[in-house]
Amino acid sequence: MLKRTLKVRLYPTGKQKQILREIQIRCAKLWNRANYLIRQEYFKNGKILSYNQVYNFVKNSPEYKALPTDISQAILKKLSESWKSFKELKKLKEKGKLPEHIKKVSPPKYFKNRKLNQTLPMSIIPILAPRSYSLGDFSFSFTVPKDFKENYGIKKRLEILATYRIPYKNYKLKKAEILNKNGKWYVHISVEIPKKELKETKKVNYASIDLGIRNLITLAIYDEERKLIRIYQFKSKELLKEWKYWNRKIAKYQSKLAKSGYKGSSLKLRKYYENRNKRIKVAIQQIINKNKIIQILDRYGVKEIFIGDLTGIRNGKDYGKELNKLLHNFWIRKQFLNILKYKLEEVGIGLTPIPEAYTSKTCFNCSLEVKRPKQHFVICSNCGKLHSDTNGAINILKRGLKLKNLEWKKIGEVHLIWKFKQTNRWVFRYLRIYKKDKDKPLVRGQANNPPVGVATPKRSSYSPKSSPAFLMRGG
């Protein structure tokens, strides 16, 4: 058996973050109480209490009972481990064999701000065993304190939106640790896998990319084994706003020049054009150069990408003069593909162009012709409503795989927006899930709330009012 860590990214909502922080404080309180007992005994008699002794002392305390048993016990285990390592380091020090990078050996500390006399949150929430948590296709759930269920209206477990990939077939889940790193939340799960399974990490999946207007890029990844389709939509709304802003400036200045009768070249005008194109460049660089797409493809073990053939505007749709200009912009068309190709070659992922005709006119699920009452949705009389770019990307995927039918169970549509004003990067917005049902082949699930400030590294204070609960458009 080999031990590995499965890293799962969590996207808690504002309310869920508050719950996590409260649990972190409770963890710290139990740690501090148990640590106090051990420290007292240690400084009095030089003895270190065992896990069982500590457990018997604190098992009826309010701090222990304020948490689910699997969290309380995991904290006592962690505390006991850090005392053990303290003891070992002390021995090494006495023998003069302390590793160079360790300067000082001191017993485990409290989570406390002494000046303010405040409990500090424990950096992790440990969970002892998989009976207290579970992994769903797009979520992580775990048992929370009993009083939380009433206070926050949690039915069974707290379910947090999550993205991850399981690269092994026969893995065994062990303990887990929820942690917060630079404002981002993760859960690290210890797994055990049979030795021969390591080969399974190789690339096995296929993906498709569709370039469009509403979404600069729509990426569809097919996980054949789990019958899941992951959709990443890079929404271009913010970018279009800026594109239009610069176009207005250019038009205004041009008419000013025309009125004055000036015929020569204008430095200012050229600057405007440069600025406009630079902004789009930055947005695309954030997708490719910062390896956003490469990371996603790598996480899900993609070996080949099908890309919609980009000759001509898709299916003759006219998006208006301004938007057509953007689509034909040199950078989007050429640079994007060139850089993508180069980057994919580096990591050994294939790129195959696919004819795009009719990929947005038929339903990916049943191949019937779809209606498109609004730009961003298609409606299939058989299957219901689906995001038009999602439908298009899956159709390209199907065509690339030469499939009549795509076997699938769930679609997770991850929406990313470009927040250039604040952060200049793509941030997670929300997830929408489509499920397959026996009677109705396409059932749209509930969308998760967008996590508040998930991309901002600084710690934002929680305010329940600021949670933008429903950003879903189009009903």
By the criterion CB under 5 A, which residues form the site for Zn ion?
363, 365-366, 368, 380, 382-383
**Minimum CB separation from Zn ion for residue 445, in Å?**
17
Where do the DSSP E strands lie in 383-422?
384-387, 410-419
Can you name the residues that pair with 215 across neighbouring β-strands?
A: 235
CB closer to Zn ion, 35 vs 365: 365
Alpha carbon distance 64, 76 (integer Å) = 10
φ and ψ at residue 16, rounded to 5 degrees: -65, -35
**Minimum CB separation from Zn ion for residue 440, in Å?**
10
Can you name the residues that pair with 234 across neighbouring β-strands?
A: 217, 416
- Contact, 141 vs 158, CB < 8 A? yes
- Contact, 452 vs 17, CB < 8 A? yes
**Minimum CB separation from Zn ion for residue 386, in Å?**
8
Alpha carbon distance 400, 305 (integer Å) = 9
Number of residues assigned to the chain = 475
Alpha carbon distance 289, 406 (integer Å) = 32
CB closer to Zn ion, 16 vs 391: 391
**Minimum CB separation from Zn ion for residue 364, in Å?**
8
**Minimum CB separation from Zn ion for residue 370, in Å?**
7
- Contact, 23 vs 71, CB < 8 A? yes
CB closer to Zn ion, 221 vs 380: 380
**Minimum CB separation from Zn ion for residue 366, in Å?**
3
φ and ψ at residue 408, rounded to 5 degrees: -150, 160
CB closer to Zn ion, 72 vs 365: 365
CB closer to Zn ion, 217 vs 380: 380
Alpha carbon distance 207, 229 (integer Å) = 9
**Minimum CB separation from Zn ion for residue 173, in Å?**
37
Residues near 362 by Cβ (< 8 Å), separated by ≥ 6? 368, 369, 370, 395
CB closer to Zn ion, 236 vs 360: 360
Alpha carbon distance 219, 290 (integer Å) = 16
Token pair, residue 32, equals 């501090």
CA distances from 421 to 189, 292, 425 (A): 36, 19, 9
- Sheet containing strand 215-223, edge to edge, reads 350-354, 302-308, 205-211, 215-223, 228-235, 410-419, 425-435, 443-444
CB closer to Zn ion, 385 vs 432: 385
CB closer to Zn ion, 132 vs 365: 365
CB closer to Zn ion, 59 vs 374: 374
**Minimum CB separation from Zn ion for residue 404, in Å?**
13
**Minimum CB separation from Zn ion for residue 224, in Å?**
21
- As a whole number of Å, the end-to-end CA separation of the chain is 49
